[in-house]
Amino acid sequence: MTEERNNSNGKFTKKINGILIDPLIFTYKSYCSCVGDCCYHGVYTDYKEYQYILSIQDKIKEIMDETQSRDVESWFEAPQKDDDFESGIAVGTEVINGKCTFLDKNGLCSLQKLALKEGEFKWKHKPLYCVLFPLTVFEGVLSIDTEDNGEIPYCKNGSKTGLTFYEAYTEELKHLFGDDGFLELENYREEYLKEINVGVNENVDK
């Protein structure tokens, strides 16, 4: 589904699958190169993802280690209204022992570990916002989670990778939009770069 319209501040015009696109992702260099320190802060899941995780709680508990809580009641914060989530409700994961409740002592996500153990697609059990980060959807706009386009405070080890966010996060963007939506994003990128007079193979650093 595609439509062209301005969001509330009129800044973005391209919409794919109901999400507006911040073209910054086409030009801003990815800095994400550490091993996932963002997982120490937890994540917001969609209410449906929260319910899904609860439905597989026994399997998750089996692969948790002694630094993680097997008390399901302690895994999540209270649900809250948030229109950036498909169901309109977001549920944050709790921070336990200084890390997301699903992060094990080796810095691995138990949800991803479980999927791999089962021979399933690696992101089968993983919340969408974990897959996307530091890309994010905020107030209906796909953009980069930065503070004034600087790095996120806990991305201490992050350094510029030489690739734009679009180039570095192709798999994640396909996961978000599906093949057709990604193709549309690709076409929008070409149009946008032509408009600002940059070749598709040229990286732009901002």
**Which residues are at the interface with ligand SF4 (CB under 6 A)?**
32-34, 36-39, 42-43, 93, 100, 102-103, 109, 111, 126-127, 130, 133-134, 152, 154-155, 158
Compare residues 10 and 153 and give the one whose CB is closer to ligand SF4: 153
Residue with tokens 């336990």: 96
Closer residue to ligand SF4 (CB): 37 or 186: 37
Cβ proximity of 149 and 141 under 8 Å: no
**Number of other residues whose CB lies within 10 A of the CB of residue 54:** 13
Asked whether the beta carbons of 174 and 156 are under 8 A apart, the reply is: no
C-alpha dihedral (11, 153, 27, 181), degrees to nearest 10: -70
C-beta of 93 vs 164, nearer to ligand SF4: 93
Rounded to the nearest whole angstrom, what is the least distance from the CB of residue 32 to ligand SF4 in the complex? Answer: 3
- CB proximity list for 39: less than 8 A, separation 6 or greater: 99, 100, 102, 103, 107, 109, 130
Alpha-carbon distance of 185 to 194, in angstroms, equals: 14
Nearer to ligand SF4, 12 or 133 (CB): 133
Q: Which is nearer to ligand SF4, 27 or 93 (CB)?
A: 93
The answer to whether 99 and 29 have CB atoms below 8 angstroms apart is no
CB of 85 to ligand SF4, least distance (A): 15
Helix (H) or strand (E) holding 92: strand 89-92
Minimal distance, residue 143 CB to ligand SF4, in Å: 14
